[in-house]
Chains A and B, each alone.
Chain A
């Protein structure tokens, strides 16, 4: 089945400050999109708004997953509908083992109609699957016994997000700087893993500053965000250009968006 995630004229504020000012983006299942842009342009906000973060108020626009109105759904319903966000800054949940967390999450995602208290995937079956996945991602099994993101290094957190992506197999995945905090080898491994898990099997929206993560995930579309809008969309060559030359051309071409971006950065600095 061909799934579509469609974002139309999305406006988002935090407090009363506008962050997203009319984002349009359509992702087909199987496609890979790169989302780039300077700091403070609204990339992470887009990811969190798609997931339904309570701190981000939608003041206009629509998000649809096929014919479902995503904005009407709670965050867990969005996850169960098949939308995934790999967090830039994942949260620690002390005392909860990664394996237990994932077993519950995997059950809920695979059985979207599961009621609270109903049986989880059998332990033995789940353990085997998790072990296989981890071996595939070259992760130590010990990882599963650690508490969720608790005391993880930056790199370990990102690996853990990729493991979750692998287990949950969403229809659409937004990867928010899944390469930040990783050294060159780790980025290459992450890039390979993401390709293996998601390439052509999901709709991928990869938010990144660097080209390494895209090495194994060549995007069909590259979007540039500035001042809360997607100002330009191109093919893989646009990503290459931005990696090489930075955002100077973009900033000059879209002075209004650049002004909005500067304003947002200034407000962030004072806040």
Chain B
């Protein structure tokens, strides 16, 4: 626990946050503008469609501080121990943060020599000002709501991955974001793949104390130039009293492919907007998601597959399981612009409700303005079948073993899409940890 007084999310707090940082003028202005926007905005209310199912009255931002650069007394080893995706993986580089402060950032020389940038976004605002200015907040909308504006004003630490034209990074890169008890993380992740570039990015969010509170106000921006290929994995295991708000968006150009796999396991309350824009002909995205909730967790994802160009393909599969009194919300949309002919869009969300008090809201949506497209969507919600459990018990499985097996079977379809062993293992472990016994 740090004893330093942190800047709070108010005008004075923001002022001292700005003062404390030695940042270029353009960035200070950008932050100030976003702050002014945030000040002018109300907190979202339940009458807003996006917040209809997500109640944030319990959230009080004044309980949290804006990330500061005051040194923490947490040892770097503790941060490293929290990571799960690195086991057995030879990485090209890694970035570790604690409460939005960079603890460690490294990239192999061979990739540095080839012009790859991978490190603290803060630092690159100085050293690569032109590049960062061009792309920072070019993809996500900082005016979407008060959370988005606050993130744009107070983001700290952050990561940038820039892969130059034609460079293929054949080892995964790793980002580990860690929250301490009561900490705030406002990480912004900026990924830029130039034409023909390739990379795999493993990005995980963990906590030092699973039961402690915390705040994440985050943003992810992915920019893929033509014919680039990105595999991006997000594992979110924030503590179960953490509030998690994020805007995450990718823009995928001609013949580029994006495989984005995420697992949302942690937090008390999550509200994420995840979007993929397909902006060049032949762009291809595959989004895979796992949500698994317990106790009183609430995880809400609003997703968009936006076809802006012809001949693009978007594949989307979320599998969600809910136990205890928890709830997940998925509201999905495939949007096809008039010029996006020959679109192939797929969207599916399956839910496995494990307790009578748990709830799954699953709302697919299509908005199609082109006339020559193929778009399908589906949503299923089922309970664990007692007959399945009995069958397994007749083969010697305990009730818990049977439930765990059925739940991991339910998620198998996602596992089948994951090609990285460490990711499959970490996800499998995370799911197994979360399964409890049912009567």
**A interface residues with partner B (beta carbon < 8 Å):** 51-54, 74-76, 78-80, 84-85, 87, 90-96, 101, 104-105, 108-109, 116, 147, 164, 168
Q: Could you name 5 residue pairs across A and B whose Cβ atoms are closer than 8 Å? A: A51-B390, A54-B386, A76-B397, A96-B409, A104-B396
Q: Is A75's CB under 8 angstroms from B393's CB? A: yes
Closest 3 CB pairs of A and B: A95-B409, A95-B412, A108-B396
Among B40-48, B96-104, B129-137, B399-407, the one that faces the other chain is B399-407
- B residues within 8 A CB of A92? 388
Tell me the smallest distance from the CB of B389 to a CB of chain A, in Å. 9
Alpha-carbon separation in the docked complex, A223 to B22 (Å): 90
A105-B397, A168-B395 given as contacts; is B405 within 8 A of A96 (CB)?
Answer: yes
Residue of B nearest to A109 (CB): B396
Total B residues in contact with A, Cβ cutoff 8 Å: 25
**Is B391's CB under 8 angstroms from A87's CB?**
yes
Neighbouring B residues of A51 by C-beta, 8 Å: 390, 394
Q: B434 at interface (Cβ–Cβ under 8 A)? A: no
Q: A96-B409, A96-B412 are in contact. Are A91 and B385 (CB under 8 A)?
A: yes
The answer to whether the Cβ of B410 comes within 8 Å of any Cβ in the partner chain is: yes
Q: Does B408 contact A (CB under 8 A)?
A: yes
| Residues of A with C-beta under 8 A to B385 | 91
Query: Are the CB atoms of B396 and A80 closer together than 8 Å?
Result: yes
- Write out the residue numbers on chain B whose beta carbons fall within 8 Å of the beta carbon of A168: 395-396
A74–B390 Cα distance when bound, in Å, is 10
Contact with A along B402-430 (1 / 0, CB 8 A): 10011011111100000000000000000
Interface contact tally, CB-CB below 8 A: 80
Bound-complex Cα distance A85 to B408 (A): 25
Residue of B nearest to A47 (CB): B394
Question: B398: which of A101, A116, A147 is its contact (CB, 8 Å)?
Answer: A116
User: In the complex, A93→B400 CA distance in Å?
Assistant: 15
Whether A53 contacts B390 in the complex (CB less than 8 A), given A93-B406, A95-B408, A95-B412, comes out as: yes
Measured between alpha carbons, how far is A104 from B409 in the docked complex, in Å? 14
CA distance in complex: A109, B394 (Å): 10
* 4 further interface pairs, Cβ-Cβ under 8 Å (given A101-B405, A104-B397): A76-B397, A92-B388, A105-B392, A108-B396
B residues within 8 A CB of A76?
A: 393-394, 396-399, 402
Per the bound structure, the CA–CA distance linking A104 and B396 in Å amounts to: 8
Q: Which residues of A contact B413 (CB under 8 A)?
A: 95
Question: What's the nearest-Cβ distance from chain B to residue A146, in Å?
Answer: 12
The answer to whether B406 and A116 touch across the interface, beta carbons within 8 angstroms, is no
For residue A149, which residue of chain B has the nearest CB?
Answer: B391
**Quick check: A93 and B409 within 8 Å, CB to CB?**
yes
> Is there contact, CB below 8 Å, between B396 and A147?
no
Q: Give, as a whole number of angstroms, the nearest-CB distance from B407 to chain A.
A: 9
Contact B386 A79, beta carbon cutoff 8 Å? no
CB A126 to nearest CB in B, in angstroms, measures 14
Q: How far is the CA of A54 from the CA of B386 in the complex (A)?
A: 9
Interface string of B43-62 (1 = CB under 8 A from A): 00000000000000000000
A147 with B409, Cβ < 8 A, contacts A54-B386, A76-B393, A109-B396 known: yes
Complex contacts, B391 vs chain A, CB 8 Å: 87, 90-91, 93
Residues of chain B lying within 8 A (CB to CB) of residue A104: 396-397, 401, 405
- Determine how close the nearest CB of chain A comes to the CB of B316; give it in whole angstroms: 19
Nearest CB to that of B411 among chain A residues? A95
Q: Does B170 contact A (CB under 8 A)?
A: no
Q: Are A75 and B409 in contact (CB under 8 A)?
A: no
Tell me the bound Cα distance from A254 to B336 in angstroms.
71
Q: Report if B387 contacts A (CB, 8 A).
A: yes
CA distance A135 to B143 in the complex (A): 64
